[in-house]
């Protein structure tokens, strides 16, 4: 019997095979879980349906992937449609993975002080408020002892140059985890986050991941970067019954980088 045998839930935010959400989903499905997936809607003029095709290439050959539907988290009707689909397919859900964030490149690339008002609103709505929105919509279909997981980053705890407005969004997301854990606790629903170190993803390219990979390798206590599989395993653990006593937590999967108070081995070979 796998860890997720008989469990059913939603995976929100897979973009392609490099997505952390896909790494988590693979662990869940390998453990016997059944998943419904969402994808970013395609533009009406995109006849090739690129967003759907990228995800369908992954899910079409997985018997445990039960459906794939579009969802724009800035639209309540889209969120409700996904939850209705999950209710029709599963009845109730045992897990929900939220792996969604966005900010315009103009705001990401510029100094935080130059963030536009409209850009800030959009980034915060999609990257932070969306967790609240999907939890609210899913509340009536959560099973007893269901689990919610979102993906955050250390830039929400400390200033990380280049992460800019997204760091502010992640700080709001981190706080949302704690308050949602409190609100949903009496229902038996747990809410946690994984704070992953840099990995090569579609979102990571916009946040300067190549430079971060070099830095983490030099500074992290394990003297290396993490892998998609490591994040996937940790995320699946928090969504599983094995983590039944854990809620409101942020689990750092970053080879220990977050514990460092100095550059550590990065200074080796340099004269003081």
Compute the chain's Rg from CA coordinates: 18
From residue 110, how far is each of 30, 154, 178, 206 by CA, in Å?
Answer: 41, 19, 30, 12
Q: How far apart are CA 58 and CA 17, in angstroms?
A: 7
| % of the chain with per-residue pLDDT over 90 | 88
Task: Give the HSE-up count for residue 25: Cα atoms under 13 Å, Cβ half-sphere.
Answer: 31
pLDDT tens, position by position, 124-143: 999 999 999 999 999 999 99
Which range among 125-129, 158-162, 177-181 shows the weakest confidence by mean pLDDT? 158-162
Q: Is residue 37 part of a domain?
A: yes
Which CATH number goes with the domain that contains 46?
Answer: 3.40.50.720
Q: Is residue 238 part of a domain?
A: yes
| % of the chain with per-residue pLDDT over 70 | 96
Q: How far apart are CA 127 and CA 99, in angstroms?
A: 9
Contacts for 39 with CB less than 8 Å, ≥ 6 apart: 14, 15, 51, 52, 54, 55, 56, 68, 69, 70, 71
Q: Is residue 165 part of a domain?
A: yes
Residue 222 has pLDDT above 60, yes or no: yes
pTM exceeds 0.85: yes
Residue 204 has pLDDT above 80, yes or no: no
Catalytic-role residue among 129, 163, 216, 257: 163
Residue 271: what pLDDT? 47
Residue 272: what pLDDT? 46
pLDDT tens, position by position, 37-81: 999 999 888 878 999 999 999 999 999 999 999 999 999 999 999
Q: Is residue 270 part of a domain?
A: no
Q: Annotate 205-269 with three-state secondary structure.
A: HHCCHHHHHHHHHHHCCCCCCCCHHHHHHHHHHHHCHHHCCCCCCEEEECCCHHHCCCCHHHHCC
Residue 163 has pLDDT above 60, yes or no: yes
Residue range of the domain that includes 104: 8-257
Which range among 45-54, 160-169, 241-250 shows the weakest confidence by mean pLDDT? 45-54
Q: How far apart are CA 109 and CA 244, in angstroms?
A: 40
Q: Is residue 262 part of a domain?
A: no
Clarify whether 129 is annotated catalytic: no
Which range among 54-63, 122-131, 195-204, 227-236 shows the weakest confidence by mean pLDDT? 195-204
Q: Is residue 269 part of a domain?
A: no
Strand duo 142-152 + 93-98: pairing: parallel
**What's the domain count of the chain?**
1
Q: How far apart are CA 61 and CA 53, in angstroms?
A: 13
Residue 207: what pLDDT? 52
- On the 0-12 / 13-18 / 19+ scale of CB atoms within 10 A, 32 is middle
Q: How far apart are CA 164 and CA 150, in angstroms?
A: 20
Grade residue 201 by pLDDT with cuts at 50, 70 and 90: low
Q: Is residue 264 part of a domain?
A: no
Clarify whether 153 is annotated catalytic: yes
Residue 203: what pLDDT? 57
Q: Is residue 1 part of a domain?
A: no
Residue 45: what pLDDT? 83
């Amino acid at each position: 019997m796998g860890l997720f045998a008989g469990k059913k839930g939603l995976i929100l935010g897979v973009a392609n095979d490099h997505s952390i959400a896909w790494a988590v989903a693979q662990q869940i499905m390998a453990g016997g879980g059944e998943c419904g997936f969402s994808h970013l809607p395609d533009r009406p003029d995109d006849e090739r349906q690129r967003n759907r095709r990228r995800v369908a290439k992954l899910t079409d050959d997985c018997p445990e992937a039960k459906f794939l539907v579009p969802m724009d988290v800035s639209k309540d009707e889209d969120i409700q449609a996904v939850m209705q689909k999950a209710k029709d397919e599963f009845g109730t859900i045992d897990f929900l993975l939220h792996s969604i964030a966005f900010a315009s490149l103009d705001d990401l690339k510029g100094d935080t002080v130059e963030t536009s008002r409209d850009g800030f609103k959009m980034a915060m709505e999609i990257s932070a408020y969306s967790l609240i929105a999907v939890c609210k919509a899913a509340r009536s279909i959560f099973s007893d002892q269901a689990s919610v997981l979102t993906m955050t980053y250390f830039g929400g705890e400390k200033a990380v140059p280049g992460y800019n407005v997204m760091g502010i969004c992640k700080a709001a997301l981190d706080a949302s985890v704690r308050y949602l854990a409190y609100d949903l606790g009496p229902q038996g629903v747990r809410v946690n986050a994984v704070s992953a170190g840099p990995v090569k993803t579609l979102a990571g390219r916009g946040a300067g991941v190549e430079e971060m990979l070099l830095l983490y390798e030099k500074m992290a206590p394990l003297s290396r970067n993490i892998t998609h599989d490591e994040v996937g395993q940790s995320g699946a653990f928090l969504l599983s019954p094995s983590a039944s006593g854990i809620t409101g937590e942020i689990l750092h999967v970053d080879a220990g980088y977050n514990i460092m108070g100095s550059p550590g081995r990065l200074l080796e070979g340099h004269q003081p």
